[in-house]
């Protein structure tokens, strides 16, 4: 295999087999879930031939490879087959964590490692299933809103059917959680799903709920209702991962298919019903009760502290640890008081970057802050937090101030959320519909206003964002004087120059004009809130804030990559220029939702053909739609991207040449 040696080197550089919990890849990078990011050797990774760069994103350790990432991924899986044996929910082939069976190392702090593994297990279990929970939760919120306004008869068959659609996910939550937890632990997800189904089996529920004593082999079985629960099945699947692993090791191969699952269920299911289920219910009720006591009695001071810390908590992923208890509150109490604080944090972050927009003088900073304000209001705060708040620092302080004040109002007035809508922005507001809805809106609005005002008062140091531009490669520097005859400068492709886009020089040979694949506003690659692109690890180019979802071919040539999730496509021109179009940031996580591909690898395309359609409105509810266009083999060329300003699909966008600049000593 071509990358066999490189794969072994990458595995060693990220801390070895025992440090890898999961792995999948997007169009340009390997996305590792490491048990300890500190064990990865960034210098060693960057010395490996196919590795173009490294990005430590906290919950993910990203190794940027570029176009060859599928081949490198397959080489790593060939070295560590377990990474492909338990594919993730999104089908990306991410491996399961081996945390259940891996030995703890003697070095480091045991408590810290244990908590990190617990956090990774919880986040890795609930993150993949949140779309299902959020979708059903939002539908429950919409139904509650419709019912509150009296727009429908709640006893009608139509309403009852839609209520069943919204509630089924939560009723059978043990099944869904079991499958996800098993994937994370490296156990068989379908056997785990069977364990979850046993807990919610109607006949068993009827037996336990009849009021008569129930015993198994003479051992009493506590009457517990497991529908809507999560802790009992988590304990059961954890035990199952060990039992299954033990039977797999001792049972002959020709008997494993039937005997391992049967014996695993025969042992684990009774233990879960007799001991782990009641224990999990007790733990869940106890922890949830403690959290609720703090939320009920802490009042405004507790709301201020929790709200102010939420931006930091969310950035570290620690909020995932509360998901089981939030779900338990919603199931047992019908409401939760922590969820409203997440809405407050979302709008506080939006207000902080909106304050940057009002205060900034640099046009690029204003454009970035306005776009991230919009995405934050839609419930996606990562571009605002990582693109502006963290680099500029003062907006982060402003968001903490706004979230603190909004949290004080929310908790002080007892605001409640009634469903887990999965979105703390405008689309998720139906989750707050209920008796405290008005006060919820007050807390949100105040959080936004306070963050905006504090952000404006603190001001910003725009030079922090400008430093990247100062260090940009010379190939992206000043454009050459324009000419009205683009064809005199280009061989292999033609394009029309537009106002604000690429000036086309005369006298250039062995070059090409790459046309704009979308209509929108040009954004410098320096301002893309993703280091993989802004640092030009994948290649040089530009970005577009699109206003139209049509993605056209930028050159005449051959389609060389269509990513399975359809969020990215690469075309190699007839002269050898390789153009990657990556629609949106982190859109690999959408698993193809909102994207329609019209081409396959090997297809011939001409400039202006339509390889891809994108539902921008749908994507914008969860992700930044900023689209990156880069020349992935830019090491072979001088690349001049267009200037900022409006651009139309088909306009001249990037000039790519092999010649050296002869005008005033600059490179062409």
Count the helices and strands in the chain (H runs, E runs). 22, 20
Do residues 647 and 500 lie in contact, with contact meaning Cβ atoms separated by under 8 Å?
A: yes
**Active-site residue flag, 319:** no
How far is C-alpha 518 from the chain's CA centre? Answer: 24
* DSSP H/E element including 627: strand 627-631
Q: Considering just the CA atoms, what is the radius of gyration of the chain in Å?
A: 27
Q: Residue 313 gets which letter from DSSP? A: H
Which residues are CB-neighbours of 140 under 8 A, at least 6 positions away?
163, 166, 167, 418, 419
Give the Cα separation of 225 and 171 in Å (integer).
Answer: 10
**Active-site residue flag, 26:** yes
Question: Taking the C-alpha atoms of 219, 221, 222 and 223 in order, what is their torsion angle to the nearest 10 degrees?
Answer: -150
- Count CB-CB contacts under 10 A for residue 348: 36
The string of DSSP letters for 181-222 reads HHHHHTS-HHHHHHHHHHHT-HHHHHHHHTSS--EETTEE--
Residue 520 Rama label (left phi>0; alpha psi -120 to 50; beta): left
Do residues 525 and 536 lie in contact, with contact meaning Cβ atoms separated by under 8 Å?
A: yes
Give the Cα separation of 289 and 283 in Å (integer).
Answer: 10
Give the Cα separation of 199 and 226 in Å (integer).
Answer: 6
CA 442-447-450 angle, 5° bins: 120
Nearest to 171 by CA among 144, 210, 197, 134: 197
Give the Cα separation of 423 and 553 in Å (integer).
Answer: 34
Nearest to 2 by CA among 109, 85, 78: 78
Q: Residue 72 in 3-state DSSP?
A: helix
Which residues are CB-neighbours of 63 under 8 A, at least 6 positions away?
10, 14, 29, 30, 32, 45, 51, 54
Question: Which residue of the set 26, 319, 567, 598 is catalytic?
Answer: 26
Active-site amino acid positions = 26, 582
């Amino acid at each position: 295999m071509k990358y066999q040696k490189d794969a072994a080197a990458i595995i060693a550089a990220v801390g070895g087999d025992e440090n890898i919990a999961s792995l999948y890849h997007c169009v340009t990078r390997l996305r590792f879930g490491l048990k300890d990011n500190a064990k990865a050797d960034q210098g060693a990774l960057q010395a490996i031939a196919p590795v173009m760069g490294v990005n430590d994103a906290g919950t993910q350790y990203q190794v940027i490879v570029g176009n060859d990432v599928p081949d490198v991924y397959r080489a790593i899986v060939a070295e560590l087959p377990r990474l492909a044996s338990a594919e993730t929910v999104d089908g990306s082939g991410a491996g399961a964590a081996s945390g259940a069976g891996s030995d703890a190392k003697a070095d480091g702090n045991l408590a810290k490692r244990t908590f990190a593994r617990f956090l990774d297990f919880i986040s890795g279990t609930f993150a993949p299933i949140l779309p299902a929970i959020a979708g059903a939760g939002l539908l429950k919120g919409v139904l509650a809103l419709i019912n509150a306004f009296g727009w429908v008869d709640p006893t009608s068959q139509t309403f009852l059917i839609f209520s069943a659609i919204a509630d089924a996910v939560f009723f059978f939550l043990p099944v869904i959680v079991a499958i996800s937890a098993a994937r994370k632990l490296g156990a068989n997800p379908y056997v785990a799903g069977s364990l979850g189904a046993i807990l919610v089996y109607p006949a068993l529920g009827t037996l336990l709920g009849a009021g008569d004593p129930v015993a198994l082999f003479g051992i009493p079985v506590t009457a517990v209702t497991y529908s809507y629960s999560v802790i009992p099945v988590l304990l059961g699947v954890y035990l199952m991962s060990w039992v299954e692993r033990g039977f797999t090791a001792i049972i002959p191969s020709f008997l494993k298919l039937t005997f391992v699952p049967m014996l695993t269920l025969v042992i684990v299911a009774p233990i879960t019903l007799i001991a782990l289920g009641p224990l999990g219910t007790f733990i869940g009720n106890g922890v949830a009760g403690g959290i609720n006591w703090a939320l009920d009695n802490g009042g405004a001071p507790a709301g201020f502290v929790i709200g102010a810390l939420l931006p930091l908590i969310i950035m570290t992923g620690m909020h995932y640890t509360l998901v089981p208890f939030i779900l338990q509150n919603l199931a047992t109490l019908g409401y939760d008081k922590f969820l409203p604080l997440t809405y407050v944090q979302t709008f506080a972050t939006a207000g902080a970057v909106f304050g940057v927009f009002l205060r900034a003088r640099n046009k690029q900073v204003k454009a970035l802050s306005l776009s991230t304000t919009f995405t934050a209001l839609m419930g996606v705060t990562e571009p605002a937090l990582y693109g502006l708040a963290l680099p500029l620092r003062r907006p982060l302080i402003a968001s903490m101030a706004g979230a603190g004040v909004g949290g004080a109002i929310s908790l002080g007035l007892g605001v409640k959320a009634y469903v887990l809508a999965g979105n703390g922005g405008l689309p998720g507001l139906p989750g707050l519909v209920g008796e405290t809805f008005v006060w919820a809106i007050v807390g949100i609005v105040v959080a936004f206003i306070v963050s905006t005002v504090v952000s404006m008062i603190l001001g910003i140091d725009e030079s922090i964002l400008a430093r990247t531009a100062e260090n940009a490669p010379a190939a992206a520097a000043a454009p050459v004087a324009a000419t009205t005859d683009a064809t005199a400068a280009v061989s292999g492709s033609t394009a029309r120059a537009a106002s604000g886009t690429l000036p086309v020089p005369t006298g250039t040979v062995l070059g090409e004009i790459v046309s704009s694949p979308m209509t929108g506003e040009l954004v410098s690659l320096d301002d893309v809130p993703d280091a993989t692109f802004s640092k030009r690890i994948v290649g040089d180019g530009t970005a577009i804030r699109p206003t139209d979802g049509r993605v056209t071919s930028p050159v005449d040539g051959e389609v060389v990559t269509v990513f399975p999730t359809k969020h990215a496509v690469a075309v190699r021109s007839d002269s050898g220029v390789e153009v990657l179009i990556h629609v949106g940031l982190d859109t690999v996580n959408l698993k193809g939702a909102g994207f329609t591909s019209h081409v396959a690898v090997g297809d011939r395309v001409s400039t202006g053909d339509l390889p891809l359609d994108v539902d921008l409105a749908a994507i914008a509810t969860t992700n930044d739609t900023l689209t990156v266009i880069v020349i992935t083999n830019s090491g072979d060329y001088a690349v001049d991207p267009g200037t900022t300003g409006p651009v139309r699909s088909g306009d001249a966008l990037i000039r790519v040449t092999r010649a050296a600049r002869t005008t005033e000593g600059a490179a062409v």
